[in-house]
Homo-oligomer: A and B are copies of this chain.
Amino acid sequence: MRYPELALNILKEKGLRITKPRCLVIELLDEAEQPLSAYEIKDTLSRRGEQVDTVSIYRILDCLEENHLIHRVISSGKVRKCALDQEEACALEQHDHCHHFLVCEQCGQIEEVHCPGTEALVGALQNSTRFLIKSHRMEFSGLCPSCQPACIGI
């Protein structure tokens, strides 16, 4: 199953509605190689003859982010679809796992990684600080393998 179908399933599962604007945005995010900004999404859809109001784009992105279907890059605010694999799609409730992200400063490419040990870290933090930790966000930025030669200057 492709991203759009999986993403829509997850929304449906949560009792959210499948609307035209949502489908358009999800479809576009699936095709995109690079992270997109709200306006880039709006403009691309416009060029295709699909008018979706800016406010709606923002609200759709909020919704997708809340449901862990996209990742918002901290530095740029642009968004990229998350990887949804079959297992996760089947076990929807387990969907909001720990996703962490590597962002290339040069080309914008995003790679998702699972960091083993995160649960343990969160548990230790809760014990030592008495905070009740409900969510976390971890993003690493640097240079991806293909951008390194150019940037290091060789």
Contacts and interface: CB of A to CB of B under 8 A. Distances in A.
A55 interface: no
Contact of A137 (B111, B138, B143, B148): B138
Number of copies: 2
A69 to B, nearest CB: 18
Contacts of A117: 117, 121
9 contacts: A74-B74, A102-B129, A102-B133, A104-B131, A105-B134, A111-B129, A117-B121, A135-B140, A136-B141
Contacts of A128: 113
A141 B135 contact: yes
Interface in A36-54: none
